[in-house]
Structure 1
Amino acid sequence: MPGPTLIDWLRAQDDHTLAALLAARPDLATPPPPDSAVLAARAATRASVTRAAEGLDTFTLAVLDALVVADADKAPVPEARVLEIVGPAVAPERVRESLDTLVRLALAWGTDELSVTPAAREASGLFPAGLGRPSSTLDGADIAGLLADLPEAERRLLTTLAHGSPLGRTKDAGADVPLTEATTPVQRLLAMGLLLRRDAETVELPRQVALVIRGDSPLGTVKLDEPAVETKQLKVSTVDATAAGEALEFLRRAETLVRLWSAEPAAVLKSGGLGVRDLRKLARELDTDERGASLIVEVLFAAGMIGDSAAATTPEWLPTTAVDPWLASTPANQWATVAAAWLDMPRLPGLAGMRDAKDKVLAPLSDDLRRPPAPAERRRILSALAELRAGTGVPSPDDLAAVLAWRAPRRGGRLRDEIVRWTLAEATSLGVVALGALTSAGRALIGSDADGPAAAAKRMADSLPEPLDHVLVQADLTVVAPGPLEPALAVDIGQVADVESAGSATVYRVTESSVRRALDVGRTAEELHDLFRTRSRTPVPQSLTYLIDDVARRHGRLRGGAATSFLRCDDPVLLAEVAAHPAAARLELRKIAPTVLVSPVALADVLEELRGAGFAPAAEDAYGQVLDLRPSGLRLPAPARSRRVGTPAPASPERLAAMVEQLRAGDTAAGTKRGRTVSLTAGTGAADTAATLALLREAIEQNSQVWIGFVDSRGVASQRVVDPFRVGGGVLEGRDVSHGAVRQYPLHRITSASLVES
């Protein structure tokens, strides 16, 4: 007797079970299904089943394979049969737990007898549990007896296929050979029916033979539990302090990159991304390797602090306006910004430098590195570390990769284990992970609260060393900062000295050019003397005092200024007349020679103003040739490229409840018998509207129910069965039969209506 269909099973579930299903498999809820039939159809598609199976652990997948091997997609299978296929070595409670997981995800349904969709067989691959196709010629045969009589070489060949892939490559499968003429093990096994020919060079082990060889383990070697992980216990303070050092180093390199590209931007490749030459140059400047430089540019790009200028001729990678407030922030807030951007960026920096299928090198900042599932994978990896006690580290990334591979063997593709290694390396560089353990700031960062970055910034601030208010000036004109400096002091020292080496202690060097730079920004010699005298814990060497005084004595003797446009005239009288005109004040004209006036105003505006005052000036280029300055027309700025950051938020409990309510209403509507129907389609006129109103009024007068097709404010179509009370004012008011609530339905959203026949 056939069991219930998936549609029947879904209709029999309570609201909580359906809401949990829609939350666990979000693809089923997009868009919201109008009834259980649509929900069942979506849940049975191959793409949806495959996506749901990606989240199953190794043992639960083995139980799903057992259902497929038992042909549960053709007829319901008793739980006892599943236990038999899984093997006696596994406790029934463990199998029941996995079956409950499959039922909760609607990958299987039923209680005592279970069924799966045909898509489950497709999702299990060609050979579920490594078993080949059954052979009809072996039905009823004494396979154990046949195997017992085989020579050792032939039995060993079958055993190898039974515990590995059921397919084998051979040169002896070309033609049928009678058993009496067979000369090789493959030919004899083919003649006996213990092997099947797939083609001239491929043979397949029948399922019946593999099951006999496997004995009490029909599914082969099933990994019941996830691998053990070797861990080490560290002090939380040690982990956080180590991470703080890494975080400061990352921020220093990020600030250096911003400074470098502010002065000399890197070119954008024609195909997009950052070129190999620019990447190597950047790695040298940042004192890191190419992988580290790729991570920094990718994180700043994800944070919106660098971007493609999109220039028509020579596009360049430039800092954006988001950099300036970031540079002015505290180190803890700077770290929280870049760490949150890294966590949610839909890109894999680890792919940079690899080659694609066409042997092309994948460049940083190119679209080739885009991987939308990346944020979810990072959170999954870091969440695995968060399961450990605070301060517990995993020395080997391979151990963590093995655990995650057991938890979701079908997730991540061919780069599954590499993504684990890349994520841990990147998290270590950013200070999210240190010594193999998740830091306190990292735990706050991946928290479910919306203020995760803010909480992480507070934790990082507690881990960072206190900023220093002093430096150590050496006799060789170097200035040593034993740790991070106060922001104001860091700015002052950065103006008068150049960074020579960075790390836990930063070494600056004072040179003639660095002193001149400080004077150029408006500092005086006395201010520089006072800076070193008050902020140095060591005596200020006389050589530094002499250097500052010598540079200050020569500084500013030659002066320069800025001018946007000029006016020249061979007649000093005419030029004096222009200078005396009221327009000269508005244009800020000033005389620098008897025949030359300069202005900070653009030349086109100067000429327009003077022409309005009655003069007749002309524009000229550097060679004295007359220029045409008429505008070439209005131009629109190129639209900013939008990037979706992070992962979509899951549906709220209220939204899930609304979808379940819609399912119930749709099921009720689908089960009603409809009579006379009026349909409204796009572009219909008053006649159809009048017919609908007449039908609804008729239902009210007869005290009968009405079936309506309805489109809500989100554009989602559904069906309702309503006890109508009133129609008027553009609204139908009535009680929804599925849950008894009184609702109002705008008439312009009703697409069709029918009288319900009893």
Structure 2
Amino acid sequence: MRGEVPVRAASFDSLSASASMLTSRFRSEPALRGRPQKYTEPVRTRLARMPQPLTFSAWLASAPQPWFTALCETRRDLMRTDAPSLRAVAAAAASRAGVALVLEALDTRLLQIAHRAAVAARTEPVVPAGVLGATTADLTRLVTLGLLWPAFAEDAQDPTGASAYRIHSEAVGLLPTSAADRRSGIPWLEFPPERPADPAPLTVPDALVGNAEAAAASALVGEVLAVPDTFAAEPVSQLVSGGIGKRDVQQLARTLGTDTAHTVFLLELAGAAGLLGVGGPDVDPQWGPTSEFDRMRSAGRAETYVELLRTWLLREVDTVHVLAGRTDRGDRLHALATLVSPTRHNAYAGFPSSKPQLAFLTSEVLAALAGLADDLPGRAVHDAVLVDAVRWDHPLLAAAAPASIEQIVREAEAFGLVCTPLASPDAHALTHIGLRVVGGLREAMAGSLSLVPWDAERVTLPEDLTSFVDSLLPALQTTVLVQSDLTAVATGPLDPQIHSELTRIAVVDTRGQGTVYRFTTDSIAEALRTGMSAQEVLALVSRISSTGVPQPLTFLVDEAAARLRRVQVAPARAVVVVDDPADLEALLANPALVPAGLVRVSATVAVANVPQDRLAHLLEASGQPTLRHAANGPVPRAPVPQRPAPVSRRSTRVADRSLPAFIRALRSSGTEEPAEAPASVLDVLREAAEDRHPVDVVLVATDGTRHRAHLLPTHVSAGRVRARRLTPGRTGTETEVTVGISRIVSAVRSPEVS
């Protein structure tokens, strides 16, 4: 590229060029030394001595046909049947949304070049080529994206060799271009100019890859189905603000035998899949399983796995946010809260993204891992390198924080999409399932017309994935070995239904291909409290045990039942039954049980005006253990939460087969630049703000009417202009106003000087 020079960190102090350099159209070396020269003449006087810079619409009209065609093919978002003119294309490209979309699609190298151009454009609308520090390939990409264009007409035939460039004014407002913004610390400004690569990739043996993906896929299905089943045995009350509390999450983690982070992941996955819902009385809504849980539990494991995987790829709740208790924007967040009250607000503070950020980030993490591993299974990449690569590819993606990326990797490992070398837990490799998923996503997104080739509606999995997963899953065990040391051993993956029943009376002692369950005094007592009788506990053990019921377990069950036999709670909203009338007298006189509203109906029976579970909690809190009677008949299921219906979008984008004819029609639609083009409006306003010159504008009101205004712009950024509204011929009547650029139809410099 002509005039290319290295760019140093201090080069921002030399972005204001001398008047002689401006007159010679920036042909000389632009890297000035020391502090920039201070000009005393107005900006418009200096610009008057230069050739008039090209606006974007003028560049579109004068661009060589190959460059114009390349831009149209790259910016398919601008090729719309309802905007069949150069004026409309230029307006859409210069709009805030159009510029934001391009910036979002840039990797770190191109974004740093665009940032240098935007910083320079704060002081002059024309940016010297040497300031950019870009190669020919970089300039080609930025020009075809419609973000940069040659500043002068004589350079239009060779855009990559131009002496100076222009950038859309909206980029100046969208990017951190002020000195204060740059001092606040911007991570992607410190990123290296080249994409990171793993200097020492590791290799995972294929046998280990196969074992890891099969074990993870089998375990995940059982763990997710265990969550609603646990809620069925012990419903959890919903918080007033939605979701469930931390104590309930911790209790569920102890029941499942997992850590809190993995439990939150399982909760959100089960909720997003429709397995959990809120039911019960209005005064005490409770979380419980839905009918969708019954359907999924009866389906095949491979089908269930694929359904859960697609749900995970499209989920919207970041596990990191739930663990922290709030989003990046500061909004409070509990587990399952968004299932009841979906929020439309972006959970991530930062650059406005046009994609669902977490779902998009999940696909990009898997794609980046495949790229670093050369699409080979078992080739492990260090997590730190993967984090750097994802953030380098998408520097403006607010969701791409190291903690969120690492959590996605852990969740992918739970699905069996990735595995880790035994000696290096900080590295991960794609499994055969993971590579199939990445390949399916690539194929699905290949036909996307979006500038960022990802679309939630196109997220699909390979058709043969179900059969492939089914071939990997080991056979399920339907019996366990119950031993006299009060343990039950599953020699392989246990049927989810058997696991669910067994965890009601035992706790998981050791997990793995062979899971060990342990019967304890507390686990048996908890089963009896939730409605099982001693005979039902022993019958369950006898049915699932291949070695019978050992005598020590029989003694343990009988002893636990004897301790809980004095007071029993029966469902009737609710009924208290005691053996001794003196026990009922003590309960009626207990101040802690006043909220229960107990009313004696006989010497040993009283009724309460609270549900059975609430009464049992009050009794236990007062120091009185209870024994509950199970309700007759099936437990009613909670309704499946209703998700907002997907928005039906009608696209006016030009189809592939019609694109060549549409491009020819654009070039023949006229080359005269409209005076009210958005690029021209922004240029007039920015130049007027720089030299404090009033402008006459035409504004569109909310009802569509137009009126004129006499303004003195003071600041132009972020799609708005802040100005003082002037009344010609009168003084002391100025008012501060802020107007959106989209409301300004035209703007011309006023002959009256302020």
TM-score range, shorter chain: 0.5 to 0.7
Cα distance in 2 for residues equivalent to 1:309 and 1:546? 37
Evaluate the alpha carbon distance shift between residue 265 and residue 39 of structure 1 in structure 2; reply closer, same or farther with a 3 A threshold: farther
- Normalised to the residue count of structure 2, the TM-score between the two structures is 0.53
Q: Report the counterpart of residue 247 of structure 1 in structure 2.
A: 217
Equivalent pair of 2:79/2:654 in contact (CA under 8 Å): no
SS at match of 1:54: helix
Cα distance in 2 for residues equivalent to 1:224 and 1:126? 19
1:657 is displaced (CA, Å) by: 4.9
The answer as to 2:284 corresponding to 1:314 is: yes
Choose which of 69, 85, 88 in structure 1 pairs with 2:131: 85
Cα distance in 1 for residues equivalent to 2:544 and 2:639? 47
Cα distance in 1 for residues equivalent to 2:409 and 2:201? 15
CA deviation vs aligned residue, 1:20-54 (integer Å, no higher than 9, x gap)? 3344xx4x468953433122112112343233212
1:383 is displaced (CA, Å) by: 0.8
The answer as to 2:394 corresponding to 1:354 is: no
Evaluate the alpha carbon distance shift between residue 37 and residue 520 of structure 1 in structure 2; reply closer, same or farther with a 3 A threshold: farther
Evaluate the alpha carbon distance shift between residue 327 and residue 286 of structure 1 in structure 2; reply closer, same or farther with a 3 A threshold: same
Cα distance in 1 for residues equivalent to 2:286 and 2:544? 39
Cα distance in 1 for residues equivalent to 2:110 and 2:504? 65
Choose which of 264, 275, 285 in structure 2 pairs with 1:305: 275
The answer as to 2:19 corresponding to 1:35 is: no
1:61 is displaced (CA, Å) by: 2.1
Higher Cα radius of gyration: 1
Equivalent pair of 2:213/2:433 in contact (CA under 8 Å): no
Q: Report the counterpart of residue 511 of structure 2 in structure 1.
A: 503
SS at match of 1:294: helix
Q: Report the counterpart of residue 6 of structure 1 in structure 2.
A: 56
Cα distance in 2 for residues equivalent to 1:221 and 1:34? 41
Evaluate the alpha carbon distance shift between residue 20 and residue 240 of structure 1 in structure 2; reply closer, same or farther with a 3 A threshold: farther
Cα distance in 1 for residues equivalent to 2:501 and 2:237? 32
Equivalent pair of 2:316/2:358 in contact (CA under 8 Å): yes
Cα distance in 2 for residues equivalent to 1:166 and 1:301? 39
Partner AA of 2:333 in structure 1: L
Evaluate the alpha carbon distance shift between residue 478 and residue 282 of structure 1 in structure 2; reply closer, same or farther with a 3 A threshold: closer
Q: Report the counterpart of residue 194 of structure 2 in structure 1.
A: 225
Q: Report the counterpart of residue 655 of structure 1 in structure 2.
A: 655
The answer as to 2:469 corresponding to 1:460 is: yes
Q: Report the counterpart of residue 419 of structure 2 in structure 1.
A: 434
Q: How does 1:713-752 map to 2 (within 5 A)?
A: none
1:375 is displaced (CA, Å) by: 0.6
Q: Report the counterpart of residue 337 of structure 2 in structure 1.
A: 366
Equivalent pair of 1:34/1:663 in contact (CA under 8 Å): no
Cα distance in 1 for residues equivalent to 2:499 and 2:235? 23
Q: Report the counterpart of residue 176 of structure 2 in structure 1.
A: 125
Q: How does 1:170-569 map to 2 (within 5 A)?
A: 223-229=192-198, 230-309=200-279, 312-352=282-322, 353-355=324-326, 361-367=332-338, 371=347, 372-387=356-371, 388-389=373-374, 390-392=376-378, 396-412=382-398, 416-435=401-420, 436-446=428-438, 447-448=440-441, 449=443, 452=461, 454-468=463-477, 471-476=480-485, 478-485=487-494, 490=498, 500-501=508-509, 503-504=511-512, 505-508=514-517, 536=546
SS at match of 1:338: helix
Unaligned residue ranges in structure 2 (runs of 5+): 1-50, 150-155, 348-355, 421-427, 445-459, 559-570, 573-637, 673-754
CA deviation vs aligned residue, 1:36-76 (integer Å, no higher than 9, x gap)? 31221121123432332123122212322444466599666
Cα distance in 2 for residues equivalent to 1:51 and 1:335? 35
1:263 is displaced (CA, Å) by: 3.0
Q: Could you tell which deviates more after superposition, 11-20 or 369-378?
A: 11-20
Cα distance in 2 for residues equivalent to 1:34 and 1:411? 32
Evaluate the alpha carbon distance shift between residue 328 and residue 60 of structure 1 in structure 2; reply closer, same or farther with a 3 A threshold: same
RMSD: 5.0
Partner AA of 2:264 in structure 1: S
1:102 is displaced (CA, Å) by: 0.7
SS at match of 1:452: coil
Cα distance in 2 for residues equivalent to 1:363 and 1:284? 18
Identity over aligned pairs, percent: 24
1:107 is displaced (CA, Å) by: 0.7
Equivalent pair of 1:496/1:518 in contact (CA under 8 Å): no
1:405 is displaced (CA, Å) by: 2.3
1:494 is displaced (CA, Å) by: 5.3
1:669 is displaced (CA, Å) by: 6.1
1:341 is displaced (CA, Å) by: 0.7
CA deviation vs aligned residue, 1:646-686 (integer Å, no higher than 9, x gap)? x99997997355577567657756789xxxxxxxxxxxxxx
Number of aligned pairs? 483
Evaluate the alpha carbon distance shift between residue 6 and residue 656 of structure 1 in structure 2; reply closer, same or farther with a 3 A threshold: farther
SS at match of 2:135: helix
Equivalent pair of 1:262/1:319 in contact (CA under 8 Å): yes
Cα distance in 1 for residues equivalent to 2:176 and 2:504? 67
Evaluate the alpha carbon distance shift between residue 640 and residue 30 of structure 1 in structure 2; reply closer, same or farther with a 3 A threshold: farther
Q: Report the counterpart of residue 724 of structure 2 in structure 1.
A: none
Cα distance in 1 for residues equivalent to 2:244 and 2:286? 9
SS at match of 1:119: helix
Partner AA of 2:173 in structure 1: E
Q: Report the counterpart of residue 643 of structure 2 in structure 1.
A: 642
Equivalent pair of 1:232/1:393 in contact (CA under 8 Å): yes
1:301 is displaced (CA, Å) by: 1.4
Choose which of 114, 133, 136 in structure 2 pairs with 1:96: 136
Cα distance in 2 for residues equivalent to 1:104 and 1:529? 73
Equivalent pair of 2:53/2:126 in contact (CA under 8 Å): yes
Q: Report the counterpart of residue 74 of structure 2 in structure 1.
A: 21
SS at match of 1:322: helix
Partner AA of 1:115 in structure 2: R
Cα distance in 2 for residues equivalent to 1:496 and 1:378? 35
Equivalent pair of 1:249/1:503 in contact (CA under 8 Å): no
Partner AA of 1:314 in structure 2: D
Cα distance in 2 for residues equivalent to 1:47 and 1:244? 45
Evaluate the alpha carbon distance shift between residue 420 and residue 131 of structure 1 in structure 2; reply closer, same or farther with a 3 A threshold: same
CA deviation vs aligned residue, 1:703-739 (integer Å, no higher than 9, x gap)? xxxxxxxxxxxxxxxxxxxxxxxxxxxxxxxxxxxxx
Cα distance in 2 for residues equivalent to 1:286 and 1:420? 25
Equivalent pair of 1:347/1:370 in contact (CA under 8 Å): no
Partner AA of 2:385 in structure 1: D
Equivalent pair of 1:72/1:116 in contact (CA under 8 Å): no
Choose which of 85, 88, 96 in structure 2 pairs with 1:46: 96
Equivalent pair of 1:6/1:40 in contact (CA under 8 Å): yes
Cα distance in 1 for residues equivalent to 2:242 and 2:311? 21
Equivalent pair of 2:369/2:381 in contact (CA under 8 Å): no
1:337 is displaced (CA, Å) by: 1.7
